Amino acid sequence: MPFTLPELPFAKTALEPHLSAETFDYHHGKHHNAYVTNLNKMIEGRPEAGKSLQEIIMSADGGMFNNAAQVWNHTFYWSCLKPGGGGEPTGALADAIKRDFGSFAKFREEFASAAATQFGSGWAWLVLDGGKLKVAQTANADTPLKHNQTALLTIDVWEHAYYIDFRNARPKYIETFMDKLVNWEFVAQNLAQAT
C-alpha cells in the first residue's frame, strides 16, 4: 500500500507569525510531499512495498533511504511543533534533562549549537542513547533510527524549513523554535514510551 502525506497536526496558519502558511505550503505541501511521491515510485513492484517506513529506513540505502528517512524525519518534526509552544519542559522530562545536561540552560545551549553548526542541510536532535539523553546532529536525510538512538525532539535546519520566514538567519529560527514552538508534551511522551 502506498505511503501518504500525513496531515499537519495543526492548521498551516497556527504557528504564525513564527512560521508562515507559505512556509508550510512549500515545506509540507511541496518538499514533504515530494519525498512521499518519490518513495512510492521507488518501492512500486518491489519487496519494500510491503514494508513499514521504519523497515525501509533500516534496510535501504541511496535514494530509497533518503526519501524514506525524509518522510519519517518530517512527520516527526511536525509533531515537535505546536502553537504556544516553547519555554521549558516539566516533570520527568525536565528531570532527565537536568540529570544528563546539568541544567535546561546547558541543554538548550548544546541543542542550539548543534542546530546552528550543522553544515549544510540536516537536523539537530535530542535523543535517548543507552539510557542517557544526548544531543545529536545528522546530515541530509540521516536519522537517529539508523544509529540505534530513540528520537525525542528534532529541529529541521534544511534551508527550506526557515528561509521564507527567516531568510539566512538560522540562529534566529533556532531561538524562535526554542522560545515559541517546541511541543514539550510530545517530547515527554516520546521519553515515557522509550523508558
* 140-149 pLDDT per residue, tens: 999 999 999 9
Q: What is the 3-state secondary structure (H, E, C) of the chain?
A: CCCCCCCCCCCCCCCCCCCCHHHHHHHHHHHHHHHHHHHHHHHCCCHHHHCCHHHHHHHCCHHHHHHHHHHHHHHHHHHCECCCCCCCCCHHHHHHHHHHHCCHHHHHHHHHHHHHHCCCCEEEEEEEECCEEEEEEEECCCCHHHHCCEEEEEEECCHHHCHHHHCCCHHHHHHHHHHHHECHHHHHHHHHHHC
Which is it for the CA torsion 68, 71, 73, 76, positive or negative? negative
Model pTM score: 0.98
- Distance between CA atoms of residues 171 and 182, nearest Å: 15
Domains in the chain and their CATH numbers? Answer: 21-79 (1.10.287.990), 91-194 (3.55.40.20)
Q: What is the per-residue pLDDT for 1?
A: 74
Residues in the chain: 195
* 7-29 pLDDT per residue, tens: 999 999 999 999 999 999 999 99
Cα radius of gyration (the chain): 16
- Distance between CA atoms of residues 139 and 69, nearest Å: 11
Side-chain-facing half-sphere of 125: CA atoms under 13 Å: 26
* 65-122 pLDDT per residue, tens: 999 999 999 999 999 999 999 999 999 999 999 999 999 999 999 999 999 999 999 9
Q: What is the per-residue pLDDT for 72?
A: 98
